[in-house]
Structure 1
Amino acid sequence: MSAAATGAGAAARPFFKTAGLPIGIQLYTLAPDAAKDLGGTLKAVAGIGYKTVELPGFMGKAPADLRSAMDAAGLACPSVHVQPRGGDLTFSGDLGKLAAALHAVGAKAAVAPICWFPDRMEMRPQAGEDMGGMLRRLVGQMTADDWKANADFLNQKATVLKKEGLKVGYHNHNFEFLPLGSTYGLEILLRETDPSLVTFELDVGWVAAAGHDPAALLARHKGRFTMMHVKDIKPTTVPNFVLKMDPTEVGSGAIDWKKLLPAAKASGVTGFFVEQEPPFERPRIEAAKICHDYLAGVTA
């Protein structure tokens, strides 16, 4: 066989098989299903072929019970989303208890899924506001100094949790791209956080919904993003900074995965988690299977 033929054959191999990386899922995608039947949902996820699960939080359950359910399904949990504040197992709570909970589920990373909003802001929905409306109001009030304070917050929490062998991360939406002069929130976080302490989880769908190129962002910040939410959007999505997108299954939308997946790996991403936003056009578990099967076969 010629070298050219060998190279062509290698190039045609599925990305995840060639890279030796597992396909994971953020359980937020199946939140209603998991709330009704966690064990059954996890077994269904494993049956599809997923190998890892990122938890959207501790879901009101004991960490040991979560670990038992994941072990029973044969799934690993590399990371957990941890809110900046709001209770005991948050970044503003007892970090010793948080570390113990993360160890109990087997996680190595605690990822903030949203920023810490300053105390001056009204954190309760106003008249006529739903949760999304409240978040859009709060985001519009964020200043460059607020984002710098968020970077300090992440550095401080990461310094403590590093002693427990845990990494702290930050997950973006699209509001972090709201222009602040010549910069924006995510750029400030990347600049002001310590790379030895704080990592980032790139939500591809929200980056694209903000009108930015995920591959270009990864290239500019090589090594800073070690996790990714594999999320697709329809071409009808209008660029915005206010938590709006037209979601679809991975491989059915506007994202060029054949370009993006190798770019992500080259930049340092090793944790890939499918996540899909509502509304869903089919049962969530079916959507999760469509996403997985596309990724399992995509070549790059």
Structure 2
Amino acid sequence: MNRRNFIYSSGLLTASAAMANAMAATAAAPTLPGGMGIQLYMVRNDVERDTPGTLKQLGKLGYKQLESYGSDKGIFWGMKNTEFKKLAADNGLKLVSTHHNPMGTAEFEQMAAQAAEIGMKYIICPWLGPQKSIETFKHFADDFNQRGAICKKHGLRYGYHPHDYPYKPVDGQLPINVLLANTDPALVYYQMDVYYTVTEGQDPYAYLKKYNGRFKLMHMRDVLKVRLPAGSKEESSCDLGEGIVNYPKLIRAGIAEGMHYFFVEGERYYKETPMQSAQKNAAYLKKMRLV
């Protein structure tokens, strides 16, 4: 990852030095639509080892929505779609979206049908990878439109989750802008990963406002005030409320611009387990009056 200095913006980042100021800033925070969500990749070792037990723990922590991914056991963790839906519901949870692995049209259509059958809302491409030509991203946009049409046919929506590379110039253009410009707004939506947007020096508020209604989902993790040195094996992320992002303000802006789903996601565990991190993030959202 490019670890150049952050671009600070008074509307985006906050030092939050005093707890009193932080509480005052969040007093008017909105309720998360549908409750707080979590991306299961965050607790992947737990859910792979004990899916029922992990969902039970997440439900007890107060999570309401789940986002799955293309695990070795599939997006339904070795169960039928209806079985996973019941397991989630028994713990107060609902599977609303999933990331998917690369797959052909027939396999994708089958997954879309299964997702629609249990009331899921989104299927999301999580990775394209850096490319040498901006034309490649235009071809990706065409593929997104086709998959978006398949999802729409089944009553779903298709989305894309940018990492860091779409915010790095290719042939003088930002791939994220090219993807947004070349995908049909009625077929393709986006999942903002706040961590990558901020660490790549971009302004999430500007993207939310300019592309009103396109960013429907958010991945939430915070950014360390002092980043790790270049070449570090860990990313410069931390639990919500421990970094520089004013999440209550950003969530308000997201909701105002049509964002519906908010998923906790974490990657950096040096003092805690992923489940402990999930617990800390849930506690933060509750304390900040977001749930």
Please, what TM-score do these two structures have when normalized by structure 1? 0.79
**Residue 179 of structure 1 aligns to a residue in which SS?**
coil
2:271 to 266, 272, 281: 281
| Structure 2 counterpart of 1:77 | 95
2:222 to 232, 257, 271: 232
Residues 133, 171 of structure 2: 8 Å contact kept? no
Runs (4+) of structure 1 exceeding 6 A deviation are none
Residues 142, 183 of structure 2: 8 Å contact kept? yes
Residues 95, 161 of structure 1: 8 Å contact kept? no
Structure 1 gaps, min length 5 = 1-9, 116-137
Cα displacement (A) at 1:214? 1.6
Equivalent-residue separation in structure 2 for 1:231 and 1:12 (angstroms): 17
| Structure 2 counterpart of 1:114 | 127
Cα displacement (A) at 1:259? 2.3
How many residue pairs match? The answer is 261
C-alpha spacing 1:70/1:21, structure 2 compared with 1 (3 Å): closer
- Is residue 289 of structure 2 the alignment partner of residue 271 of structure 1? no
Equivalent-residue separation in structure 2 for 1:228 and 1:12 (angstroms): 18
| Structure 1 counterpart of 2:12 | none
Equivalent-residue separation in structure 2 for 1:244 and 1:186 (angstroms): 24
Q: CA RMSD in A?
A: 2.5
**Residue 183 of structure 1 aligns to a residue in which SS?**
coil
- Is residue 93 of structure 2 the alignment partner of residue 103 of structure 1? no
Equivalent-residue separation in structure 2 for 1:23 and 1:220 (angstroms): 25
C-alpha spacing 1:204/1:113, structure 2 compared with 1 (3 Å): same
Equivalent-residue separation in structure 1 for 2:86 and 2:256 (angstroms): 34
| Structure 2 counterpart of 1:184 | 174
Q: Deviations over 1:14-43 (max 9, x none)?
A: 6243x5541111111110000111111111
- Is residue 48 of structure 2 the alignment partner of residue 35 of structure 1? yes
C-alpha spacing 1:284/1:95, structure 2 compared with 1 (3 Å): closer
| Structure 2 counterpart of 1:209 | 199
C-alpha spacing 1:266/1:153, structure 2 compared with 1 (3 Å): same
Equivalent-residue separation in structure 2 for 1:92 and 1:236 (angstroms): 44
Residues 79, 108 of structure 1: 8 Å contact kept? yes
Larger relative contact order (C-alpha < 8 A, sep ≥ 6)? 2
**Residue 61 of structure 1 aligns to a residue in which SS?**
coil
1:152 to 142, 150, 159: 142
- Is residue 29 of structure 2 the alignment partner of residue 15 of structure 1? yes
